[in-house]
Structure formats: structure tokens, C-alpha cells
């Protein structure tokens, strides 16, 4: 039997690692992977709550979130490739056209 608390703690730590990765990495690909990690932490919470409230909705929504994550990765990677073609870099702090 898994307690809800263990799941919440793990998913909270995963989410924190994801945020830290988004903030500290320079490579846009790794930033995208960190966003995926945060979505997965949210999924873990959905499933834990589905299990502990006895409702199937959480699992259904986790499946929908998985689909959104796939769409997001497709668009994000296309953006990275387009950026690489145009600016020859995938480092997020080299992309500062809008910086004043």
C-alpha cells in the first residue's frame, strides 16, 4: 500500500528539480525536457489523487495530459530546430533579441 504522502513528496521533489532545471540550464533542449518532467510530476499527482479518492477521472486526465505533452514536445522541438537554422545556437541566453 502506497501512502498518498509518499507520492505527493516524490512528485513535489520532481517538480522542484524541473523548475531548477528550467532556471539553470542554458541548452534549450534540456529546458524542454525539464518542462516534460514537471508535466510528469503533475501526472503523478493526478494518479495519486485518483487512487485515493476512488475516482477514475484522475487517470483519464493524466492520459489527456500525456497527449498535451506530446503536442508540446513536437512544437517545442520544431521551434528549437528553426532557431538553430536561423541563429546557429540552442543556448537560451544567446537568444536575446528582445532584451532592451
Of residues 45 through 84, those in contact with another protein by CB under 8 A are: 47-48, 50-57, 59-64, 66-75, 77-82, 84
CA 18 to chain centre: 7
Task: Give the footprint of another protein on residues 5-44 (CB under 8 A).
Answer: 5-10, 12-14, 16-21, 23-27, 29-30, 32-34, 36-37, 40, 43-44
Interface pick for another protein out of 85, 98, 99, 100 (rule CB under 8 A): 85
Q: Which residues contact 85 (CB under 8 A, 6 or more apart)?
A: none
Pick from 57, 35, 38: nearest CA to 46: 57
**Which residue lies nearer to another protein by CB, 93 or 99?**
93
Pick from 21, 40, 29, 5: nearest CA to 89: 29
87 binds another protein (CB under 8 A): no
Amino acid at each position: 500500500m502506497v501512502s498518498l504522502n509518499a507520492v505527493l513528496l516524490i512528485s513535489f521533489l520532481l517538480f522542484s528539480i524541473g523548475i531548477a532545471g528550467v532556471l539553470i540550464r542554458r541548452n534549450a533542449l534540456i529546458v524542454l525536457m525539464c518542462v516534460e518532467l514537471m508535466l510528469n510530476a503533475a501526472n503523478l499527482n493526478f494518479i495519486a489523487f485518483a487512487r485515493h479518492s476512488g475516482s477514475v477521472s484522475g487517470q483519464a486526465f493524466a492520459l489527456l495530459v500525456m497527449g498535451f505533452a506530446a503536442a508540446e514536445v513536437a512544437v517545442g522541438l520544431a521551434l528549437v530546430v528553426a532557431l538553430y537554422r536561423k541563429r546557429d545556437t540552442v543556448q537560451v541566453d544567446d537568444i536575446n533579441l528582445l532584451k532592451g
